[in-house]
Amino acid sequence: MSQDRLNKFRTWMAEQGVDAFLISERHNRTYLSGWFNFDVERAGMLLVGQGEQILLTDPRYDEAAAKEAVGWSVVVPEDRIYANAIAQAAREHNWQKIGFESMDLLYGEYEKIQQAGDGAYTLQPFESSLLEQMRMIKEAYEIECLKKAIAITDQTFTHLCKWIEPGATEKEIEAEIYNTMLALGADSPSFSAIVAAGPNGSMPHAHPGERPVQRGELITIDMGARYKGYCADMTRTICLGEPAEPRVREVYDAVLKAMKTAEAGLRAGITLREADALARNSLEQVGLAERFVHSLGHGVGYQIHERPFMSRRAGEDEILSAGSVVTVEPGVYIPGWSGARVEDCVLITEDGCEVLTKSPTELVIQE
């Protein structure tokens, strides 16, 4: 656990006028407590007061939580109902107002907590807290973990370029990605890989299928390794041998130029909208902006998609901060034909960005 993180969060709590805060979002829970658990089964919650730090969990996780969440009081309610334990702690410490993460806490859990504390406290919803802002700025240890995850992803791509050949199916390529990442030391893939060949490339989040890849067509591969909880994210679009038609290279070159243009213009202090516009304006010059159907990129960390989000829909006052690690991933998708996306992870600095992804961006893979 980082005491500095906890102190900052407690200061923010006091500014919000809450006596305690209930943290149910699993990545925030790990970030604040040090208990490394991304279990989707609602494995536990944190209850933070100005002098108290309680980790609520169940018998499946109490031993691991006690080892990893140093300085936290691990509580395992006998009935496995967190609401009663929350109400008991609130009465013991005279917490009259408890904040909670309204975008994560299930309504059924909210009702139980509210009923258990009837007359003792009120619950105050927060759509987001200081934790999301803190997580945007990566500490030195986090950057090192991200660099390692990205390096494993780069090594996987190097292997893939030597291994892949016409006739391999999208699913076979997906399996090779996973096996290679694990062999190189990854915890796991950071997300389900996308392998989209030929016409499947027109779908940004296509699922790998039984289609064999062919010479001369675009093949989009989006993948990432997870290392010590931290996620890498990289996309490369390749072609086995020379493109079958001139349009293949024209679309690819436009996407690659948009990515390079964005990377050249990113720096701390520009708005998230301005960041998105760097690539979008580049594609506008060649008439492809309308085929760029998603945002420029997003933060990476414990989650594969986390703040900040470089988007046309971002708030006008939302800016990039030094220390953020974000993806830069313009893409063009043409239904009925194919598509291309190229993506790096970069570290935002005061006067630019450091490109962390090292994989080459050449289109043609020589057989």
CATH class of the 137-365 domain in this structure: alpha beta
Strands (E), 164-269: 188-189, 194-197, 218-223, 225-227, 230-231, 234-240
Quick one: pLDDT at residue 48? 98
pLDDT in tens, the chain (367 residues): 578 999 999 999 999 999 999 999 999 999 999 999 887 677 899 999 999 999 999 999 999 999 999 999 999 998 878 999 999 999 999 999 999 999 999 999 999 999 999 989 999 999 999 999 999 999 999 999 999 999 999 999 999 999 999 999 999 999 999 999 999 999 999 999 999 999 999 999 999 999 999 999 999 999 999 999 999 999 999 999 999 999 999 999 999 999 999 999 999 999 999 999 999 999 999 999 999 999 999 999 999 999 999 999 999 999 999 999 999 999 999 999 999 999 999 999 999 999 999 999 999 988 6
Distance CA 344, CA 355 (A): 7
Quick one: pLDDT at residue 366? 81
CATH 3.90.230.10 spans which residues of the chain?
137-365
| Beta carbons of 343 and 335 less than 8 angstroms apart | no
SS3 97: strand
Provide DSSP, 184-195.
TT-SEESS--EE
CATH 3.40.350.10 spans which residues of the chain?
3-133
Q: Which CATH number fits domain 3-133: 3.40.350.10, 3.40.50.2300, 3.30.70.3270, 3.40.50.450?
A: 3.40.350.10
Q: What is the pTM of this model?
A: 0.96
